[in-house]
Amino acid sequence: MAKRILVVEDNDLNRKLFCDLLRAKGFAVEPLADGQAVIARAHAFTPDLVIMDIQLPRISGLELIEALKADALLRHIPVLAVTAYAGKGDEDRIREAGAEGYLAKPVSITPFLQAVGRLI
């Protein structure tokens, strides 16, 4: 059975790129543009990995990572955080929230797939 990845990304082009790359590698992918639905979708989809954009409208990816890690049924799922705003200390804050992986945008294909491979 294919490993399942929940892709949380509000940018249509980035979401499509991530999903296309992952599907080409044989993963089952569930795209999600709205961060408000992450917890419910994670319960329904039961992913093996969550790829989380940090800059989302209405709710931050950091809050969502913390919510995933606070949920007894979801806390074991690794999170790969992806952000366009990679400033000093951002990676530390993201990892403190519970993300196991971190990539700065723009994301290159090879490092992206390597990060996914390490976490899944």
The verdict on pTM exceeding 0.85 is yes
Domains and CATH numbers, the chain: 54-120 (3.40.50.2300)
CA angle 80, 85, 90 (to 5 degrees): 65
CA distances, 4 to each of 14, 55, 58, 83, 90 (Å): 18, 23, 26, 21, 27
Q: Does the pLDDT value for residue 86 go beyond 70?
A: no
Q: pLDDT (tens digit, 9 = 90+) per residue, 1-29?
A: 899 999 999 999 999 999 999 999 999 99
DSSP assignment of 48-97 equals SEEEEES--SSS-HHHHHHHHHHSTTTTTS-EEEEES---TTHHHHHHHH
